[in-house]
Amino acid sequence: MTQFSANLGFLWADRPLPDAIRAAKAAGFDAVECHWPYDIPAAETLTALQETGLPMLGLNTRRGDVAGGENGLSALPGREADAQVAITQAVDYATAIGAGAIHVMAGFSRGPRGHKTFLRNLEFATKTAGAKTILIEPLNRHDAPGYFLQTTDQAREIIAELAAPNLKLMFDCYHVGRTEGDVITRLTDLLPIIGHIQFASVPDRGRPDHGELNYAGIFAAIADLGWDAPLGAEYKPGGPTDATLEWMSDLR
């Protein structure tokens, strides 16, 4: 049976993180993940995780100056110190709550300097994280124009170049579906370097029971590949989350 993780960056986003964790448990999710939990003391998050028995799969590094348009720091030349502070903060928070992975956000950058900066910061992240997994995620060009990491091929090259055993790909079926297509073939090809899988409908990033991608087929293919970790529901509910969960019973 397919397991699902609730991404609390989008689901129950109107509730404090500890309450969102409890809501995910009540809804039948097998795990949780989040974006930026740092405004909530780690002890409060840990208490909710312990109460529910849900594992926190991962979290993101801070984006930087959001009001100024930043969406990650680790590929920005000249911002290495800020990026490494954000990485250290993410690793510390993940350690405090028992989360297994940290998504290191690249940010808006390009070219050889951006590539070199991203590699340097990822090397710092993989060493700082210890046994935890460092994830990198390509974002599609429609939602995040100018984001440094845009394709799975680019991510694969970076992972191969750094050759750190704890550096993996966050494969988001939504982002891949928007820019590359052929999601099942890409999943199959990239499976050895994938650290986490997420999903949402294409093109509207809503719940996975409509749109261009047939998630019944995709989830069956993922199971056939031997993947048994929870899949991350990172979709925009467009209203109360509890009213959007019919897909869970249909697609398990």
Looking at the annotation, which residues are catalytic? 137, 234
Question: What residues contact residue 54 under an 8 Å CB cut-off, 6+ apart?
Answer: 21, 24, 25, 29, 30, 31, 32
DSSP count for the chain of H helices, then E strands? 9, 8
C-alpha to C-alpha distance for 93 and 39, rounded to whole angstroms: 11
Q: β-pairing, 231-233 with 4-7? A: parallel
Q: β-pairing, 231-233 with 58-60? A: unpaired
Contact 152, 171 (CB under 8 A): yes
